[in-house]
Amino acid sequence: MSDQTAIPIPALRSTVRLSDPHTAAALAAADEPLLGLAGGDRPVHLPAGADHVLIATGSGGGTTSVLRALAAQVLARGAELDVLVPGTGAHRWAEHLPHVTYLSTIEAIHDRLLIAAAGLNDGTRQWSGWRGRQVILIEDVTTLVYGLRQYWQHTRPETQLEEAPGIEALVLLLFHGPARGVQILAGNARGDFPGTEGRPVSSLCPTRVLANGGIALWQRVAPEVWPVPPPSIVAGRVHLAMPGRPVTTLQALYLDDREARALARQAPTPGEER
């Protein structure tokens, strides 16, 4: 038994939309992206810094919606965004936007991960706050990992490597990215990462957003939370787990594709700070 207690169920909004007055106030309340509103319209933002974020939800739990809202906000703050969506066609709203690299083929994603990992130690990355930060959006870690392994097996059958280089690069980014201004926003229904066995998920992704997951998922992703909160029929109702803090139930910010694209275009001009 941990020091977590039963989660109170305060009055929560059933939707949090960009056009709502209470949402506008919450967006203006901090420099960090807004996850949503807790009870009493209390804004819940991402923590400062470049720590990775894991979105672990069951089917229909809102992974794509949460990632879309966060990605639009990081673009609006001046970050660079890589969107890795092998074969899914997800997040088309971000395609062709400034400061976005949209990749849907495994070959291109493999090469991009290798470049990002190599850049961790080249001494050329300059970042402060959001400007210069590289954010990598992964819609589905499981699909990505499977694709990277298949790609390497089919293109390099003579290799003696135990793991695909693309996956090794992803692990390096998970371990060392935050200190170099590389932040991953990852959707993962299973809540685990290959090549990181023995490392608690919270040490890789301190910010974890869960919804509609069973006990096994909570035990992998946020074992410190007990009892596990029941699933909700309200779309966008999620739970935020962070080390050393009580779990927070909130209604996630929802942006449709048009809203996300418009918000992302509000990136600061050179010379502005966010």
Residue 189 above 50 pLDDT? yes
The pLDDT score that the predictor gives to residue 48 is 87
Mean pLDDT of 124-135: 80
Quote the CA–CA distance of 143 and 208 in Å, as a whole number. Answer: 19
Confidence of residue 61 (pLDDT cuts 50, 70, 90): confident
Name the residue with higher pLDDT: 10 or 104. Answer: 104
Instruction: Report DSSP letters for the chain, one per residue.
Output: --S--PPP-----S--BTTSHHHHHHHTT-SSPEEEE-GGG-EEEPPSS---EEEEE-TTSSHHHHHHHHHHHHHHTT-EEEEE-TTT-TTGGGTT-TTEEEE-SHHHHHHHHHHHHHGGGSS----BTTBT-EEEEES-HHHHHHHHHHHHHHH-TT---SS-HHHHHHHHHHHHTGGGTEEEEEE-SS---TT-TTS-HHHH-SEEEEES--HHHHHHH-TT--SPPPP-SSTTEEEEE-TTS--EEEEEPB--HHHHHHHHTTPPPTT---
Q: Rounded mean pLDDT of the chain?
A: 88
Domain-by-domain residue ranges, the chain? 49-264
User: Is the Cβ–Cβ distance between 53 and 227 less than 8 Å?
Assistant: no
Summarised one tens digit per residue, pLDDT across range 131-176 is 889 999 999 999 999 999 999 988 876 766 778 899 999 999 999 9
| Arch. (CATH architecture) of 49-264 | 3-Layer(aba) Sandwich (3.40)
Mean pLDDT of 213-230: 89
